[in-house]
Homo-oligomer: A and B are copies of this chain.
Amino acid sequence: MLYPVFMSAALPPFPKPEEPVDARQLLEVALAPDEPCLRADAARNRARLLEAASRLIAEHGAAGVTMEAVAAAAGVGKGTVFRRFGDRTGLLTALLDHSARRLQEDFLGGPPPLGPGAPPADRLRAFGVAVIHRAAEQLDLQLAAQPDGTRRFAHPSHRALHIHVVMLLRQVVADADCELLGQTLMAYLDPALIHHLTGQRGMPLERLEKGWLDLVDRVTRTGA
């Protein structure tokens, strides 16, 4: 199995650099609803599982969250966990859902400079700072929740952020290949990179933030 149906939509074909993004694309990519009309027992078990997983993380860190342990702690069979969340990253992602939603609401409809109203370049700057902070708060969980290999980029939550960045970029550097620039900016915000820099090497967060602001400046600077 790959994913529950509501997560498995095929990726849209890649638009040419000059094609505008369909506004609906943003909607499409919005995070799937938390509990898409589950049967009563299923919803109950889902809640139990999330709570159990939460507890396990608090006790043993993200690494201690094995699927069997979660199932056992929730008093449920292993198969149930997989049916509900697809795979381990699905479960972990669900735990991040609240935080992801809040971030998304903030930049879609919150107050400036993150939300609409501020100049796009400022929104971009604020966006990066927000993402970096969020990453710093939940590093291990975000790290563990990240699918490996290629799937990282196909993941809905990645795509939501990516599309937002691209939208902002288009308003600042309309002539550039914003899809690619967007991937570049997103890569800077990769939790794995952040963890590597702050955890493994001892880089302070402020330097990462400064680096983001500088990167945005460079990327959005229009031709000499």
Contacts and interface: CB of A to CB of B under 8 A. Distances in A.
Contacts of A72: none
A101 to B, nearest CB: 24
A177 interface: yes
Contacts of A30: none
Contact of A152 (B153, B154, B183, B192): B192
Interface stretch (A40-48, A52-60, A113-121, A208-216): A208-216
Of A180, A195, A210, most buried by chain B (CB within 10 Å of CB) is A180
A33 interface: no
B180 A11 contact: no
A189 B52 CA distance: 39
Interface of A is mostly: helix
A146 interface: yes
Contact of A153 (B14, B176, B192, B207): B192
Given A14-B203, A188-B187, A143 B154 contact: no
Contacts of A188: 180, 183-184, 187
A181 interface: yes
A193 interface: yes
Contacts of A190: 187
A193 B188 CA distance: 13
A188 B193 CA distance: 13
Given A153-B196, A183-B193, 6 more contacts: A11-B200, A143-B150, A181-B215, A181-B218, A184-B188, A187-B188
In order of increasing CB-CB distance, the 10 nearest A-B pairs are A187-B187, A180-B211, A14-B201, A153-B196, A148-B148, A150-B196, A150-B195, A184-B188, A218-B219, A150-B192
